[in-house]
Structure formats: structure tokens, C-alpha cells
Structure 1
Amino acid sequence: MRSSLILRRAGVVAVAAASVFLLSACNPSPRPVEDFTGLPVSDHEGDAEGHTDEPAGEGLSAAWVGQGGQLAVTIPGSSTCPEIGTRINVVEPAGEGNRVSVDVAEIPADQPCTMDLVPHTTVFWSPVYVTTTEPLVVEVGDESVTVPVK
């Protein structure tokens, strides 16, 4: 009788552990998947793929990567002090604004930076609570850009 109670409890613990694992697998990390100097390259279907060292545009840009499973955020800035995304946060979920913000690494005040303008791209997993079927607003600091529907 006691061994069946222990087995039953062990089964409950195993189910609980599996549930936590599955839930964490469905919720991608808000941390970057990749970051690199340059811009994402578009393939023939309009998906960002890889990167290029073409000159930077005027400001912040963002694009869905692949089928929308990832989001590439490009921030132009100093080549020696690039603004690198560290975390993506859902500000408003799909249906309520579809808006994210990206935190960037702090650059030490005493670090010398060049005055050039070079793009730096950070790629994140697309957050669970946003969608590719609505325009997505991406905010970095006081700048924002809208990514069109995929």
C-alpha cells in the first residue's frame, strides 16, 4: 500500500515537471539569439536572412526573419560602441497594440566611441504574445518603427 502511494506521488511529480518543461519550451527566451555588425539581407520572399555590411539607414529598423519566428532589430551607431539589444519585452500583446520594446546594453561613459554610423543587428525569437498578422511596433529608447504584416 505504501509503495503504491509513493509511486502515485512520483507520477504526480513527473507530470508536474513535464508540464513546466513544456510550458517553458513554448515561451521563447527574451534574450538575443544572435547579434552582428551589419544589416539583415532579404531573400526573394522578403524575409530577412543572414547579414550584409551595406551602409546604415537613417535610424532604427526591424524585420521578421524567416516565417516570422524571429525578429531582427537594427540600430545604427558607433562601430566601436554599438547599441546591442539585450532583451525584448511585450508592451502590448496582439489585438491590443502589438508592441514590443528592446532594451540595449549600457555603454560605459568613459568608453571612447567613434563618430561613424554603422548598423548593428540583434535577432530575437518572436515573443509569444505578438503576431505577424498585425503591424508590430518596435521601440528602442525613444525611437520606434513599425514592422508590416508578414
Structure 2
Amino acid sequence: MPLISRPAARVRLPFAAAGVVLVALALAGCSGASSKPIEDYKGEPKGVDAPASSAGGAAFAVWLKDGAQFAIALYGSSSCPPKVASVSVTASNQMKATLAPAPGGICTRDYVPHTTVFATPSGVTTTSDVSIMLPDTTLTLPGLRG
């Protein structure tokens, strides 16, 4: 009898392991995997006007390429610019932005914009407002109309 039950146990083990892997993959898909920047540069986002709310150096976010991408503009030193390292979806039309570590060293005392561009994550609806949480503020990407 032990010879008969042994092969059955060997067959069940790979199926059980496959089930655990599938559950882990499904949960990872719901966890809001981080998206890395596709572009990062000095200045305000290319090809769009900065919103009036950015006067005085306030951070802002704008849609690019008809919602296929979005940009986050942060203000700070030109020699040690604040950069967004990644974004992750945390809830329906809500994202969390993680800032890159400060480079250290001596930074100039100027105050200029720096832009980081991301592909719009799947599951984000561009026709509704999108909130992007930063450590010290929340930015709003207004929904695109028609």
C-alpha cells in the first residue's frame, strides 16, 4: 500500500505548489506594484502649461499624451533636485509617490522645477480625478474631459 499512496502524494505536491504560486501572483497584482519613471529632467513638464496653483513653486501633476502618461513637477535645488523614484496605485484613482533619497553634499540655494514622467498605471481612470500622495502634500490630476 505505501507504494500506491506515494506516487499520489508526488502528484499532489506540484499542484499544491502551483496553487500557492498562483495565489501569490494574484495578491501581488492587487498590491499596487511600483512603477518606475520613464523620463526625468530639469524644468517643467514639456508641452503643457503649468497650472496657476504652481505659482511660487508649488508641486503639481499633469497628464501627458492624452492620459497615457503623467508628470510630477517638484521644486527644489537645481544641483540636488527632488525626484520621484516610483509611484504605486493604493486605491481606485489614488497613487502614492515615493521620493528618491536626497543625493547629499552641497546643494545650491536656488528653487527650480524638476519633472518626473510615468506611464499611467492600468486601473487608473483618466476621466476622473486622480490623487497622488507625496510625503508632505497630495496632488490632484484633474480628470480628462472628452
TM-score, normalised on structure 2?
A: 0.67
2:105 aligned counterpart, secondary structure: coil
Mapped to 1, the partners of 2:117 and 2:46 lie a distance apart of 13
TM-score, normalised on structure 1?
A: 0.65
Q: CA deviation at 1:82?
A: 0.6
Q: Is the 8 A contact 2:79 2:108 kept in 1?
A: yes
Large movers: runs of 4+ above 2 Å: 55-58
1:32-57 CA-to-partner distances (Å, cap 9, x unmatched) read: 00000001144xxxxx49xxxxx974
Mapped to 1, the partners of 2:38 and 2:114 lie a distance apart of 14
Q: Percent same amino acid among aligned pairs? A: 37
Q: RMSD between aligned alpha carbons?
A: 2.7
Number of residue pairs the alignment of both structures matches: 111
Partner of residue 100 from structure 2, selected from 97, 105, 128: 105
Q: Which residue of 2 aligns with 1:59?
A: 58
2:110 aligned counterpart, secondary structure: coil
Higher gyration radius (CA): 2
Q: Aligned pair in 2 of structure 1 residues 128, 63: CA closer, same or farther (>3 Å)?
A: same
Mapped to 1, the partners of 2:115 and 2:129 lie a distance apart of 20
2:107 aligned counterpart, secondary structure: coil
Q: Aligned pair in 2 of structure 1 residues 56, 77: CA closer, same or farther (>3 Å)?
A: farther
Q: Which residue of 1 aligns with 2:10?
A: none
More helix by share: 2
Q: Which runs of 5+ in 2 are unaligned?
A: 1-32
